[in-house]
Structure 1
């Protein structure tokens, strides 16, 4: 389900109010939350390792850890607005939308799960170039990083959105539509991407678009209220994510087995998909190219601002926020608290 309006979000808020009752019942004696509700996606990064190895459950033994699977960042935005999740994964495009009007979601970015590379791509059945997709039917999950990348790819090829027929489908529905022959092309991520590439042609990848200034990433978002109320839990969460990235670097076999279990893939294929992403440690994320520090917000804010400018030009958001909006949204203090000042 995508968020279509603030009215829809309000309605969903009422429907999900019961889901947040336990989490809002007050902290444990050590200041940790009674429940931590996490929105995850089936993306081969460190988050799946943390889930598979149950590191959060071990690190926060008095906290109930609830993992809920989501299909896209647009859905995660909806859930955050509804107050039904505390920390979630959303791509840079939906996060940009979330920080812009009309949504203006009260959340922060404390972590970069991955910089997207070849794990997101535009695949077509017969077209040999993006320009040849004129008049064709193309699927993507709307309000996602692939939707943003698809619009960027069309613009790069000299096509307008009106030159094609765009279809809003979640990844699993894209695979079904592709199998039936209902769509001519799709911009989607792994593992569905791998299925489409078996009999389709890759026209452009997100890695190639990043080289042209259209970088995308999978980001963590945390409700501002939760971050302020439970800084210890957020620190612990960040440290488990860092531990997962280090496992990828130090024991690729163990990391691939964990991701493979979560994606129902053999370890070799899981390893291949992990390698399509750029994973960063906490120390690296404190660098100027990424989240930065409280004294000097990193270039991720510039990336989000540039994404907003593009989405504004495409009439996908009401207006383009100032750069400072995105700088303030980077939870650099939480990152510094977790990995040293």
Structure 2
């Protein structure tokens, strides 16, 4: 007597299985992979990656993460421009060079100014004692990075111009090698590389950015991704804010987590993260104006091919 019921149940089960199979491709298409461009020197993102907190926050949204590492900001911006990442975190100069070159991205947030986290150093036994002493000297830095603006403004403050020095364009790893070999006279660099060269070789700081430039850092994204996935971006920023608070309250423990990833001693990492300020916030008119000053300076020096408006790359609040 139960055979018809069992037969109907079996047919219903098969029908449900068929429905699930037909829906599987559609469900797979709705899953989102967030590709985050980062540098190991970006300590907060490195912490987020190591802790796995962002993956947990994005899981309910059906999103996964792929972390894509870059050696410096200019290379990260190129990755954003060619579509290999969706969101990235860089200093103030790389977005300006990228925007002037026609890259398609938007500013979506920034960290507070951190002028202590970048500087210009010389070897400990160098005869150079001030920025003015750099006239005619070889100064290494990553072209298009935040320290290029620091260098320009530090020279200006010392009564020199950018043309008074010999720029040597090198990535952080190559610049350190050149610095230690004596192939360059000075190095403009950011933390944690700055703290590392100071503590490991006794390099002397000619100046950091205090009183010269603010040294903001920015979160950038592909415009279409932000417009299509605002909840994912919001989750990224919520996790960022939570991890920023934890880091500042647990500097030593945070340094222990970050140090192995960056390949540095805990003491070096702790000094570096003390110098940075963390916690992403939307861009204010004041921050946009400060970034516009960087762009205008680079345009005046013909370091970029054309003048740009930062506001053109700022996404309106959603």
Q: Report TM bin, short chain.
A: 0.7 to 0.9
| 1:300 CA displacement | 1.3
Residue 241 of structure 1: CA displacement?
A: 0.8
Q: Which residue number in structure 2 is paired with residue 86 of structure 1?
A: 86
Partner of residue 240, structure 1: 239
Matched ranges for 1:253-292 at <5 A = 253-280=252-279, 282=280, 285-286=281-282, 291-292=283-284
State the 1:204 CA deviation. Answer: 1.1
Are positions 1:217 and 2:216 aligned together? yes
SS at match of 1:309: helix
| 8 Å contact from structure 1 (residues 114, 219) kept in 2 | no
Q: Which has the higher helix share?
A: 2
Q: TM-score, normalised by structure 2?
A: 0.82
Q: Secondary structure at the match of 1:128?
A: coil
Q: Distance in 2 between matches of 1:105 and 1:251?
A: 38
Instruction: Please give the alpha-carbon distance, in whole angstroms, between the structure 2 residues aligned to 1:224 and 1:216.
Output: 24
C-alpha distance in 2 between matches for 1:199 and 1:28 = 56
Q: Tell me the residue number matched to 1:21.
A: none
2:115 maps to 117
CA 28–139 in structure 1, closer or farther in 2 if over 3 Å, else same? farther
The residue that corresponds to 1:13 in the other structure is none
- 1:89, CA displacement in angstroms? 1.4
| SS of alignment partner, residue 56 of structure 1 | helix
Find the residue that maps to 1:105 and give its secondary structure: coil
Cα shift at 1:92: 0.9
Q: CA deviation at 1:332?
A: 5.8
Structure 2 CA distance, aligned partners of 1:74 and 1:242? 25
Give the CA deviation at 1:190: 2.3
Q: How far apart in 1 are the matches of 2:79 and 2:95?
A: 13
Structure 1 residue ranges (4+ consecutive) displaced by more than 6 angstroms after TM superposition: none
What is the CA-CA distance between 1:250 and the residue it aligns to? 3.3
CA distance in 2 between partners of 1:238 and 1:160 (Å):
39
Q: TM-score, normalised by structure 1?
A: 0.77
Structure 2 runs not aligned, ≥5 long: 1-24
Asked if the contact 1:109/1:330 (under 8 Å) is kept, the reply is: yes
* Matching residue within 197, 201, 204 for 1:201: 204
Which residue number corresponds to residue 228 of structure 1? 227
- The count of residues paired between Structure 1 and Structure 2 equals 287
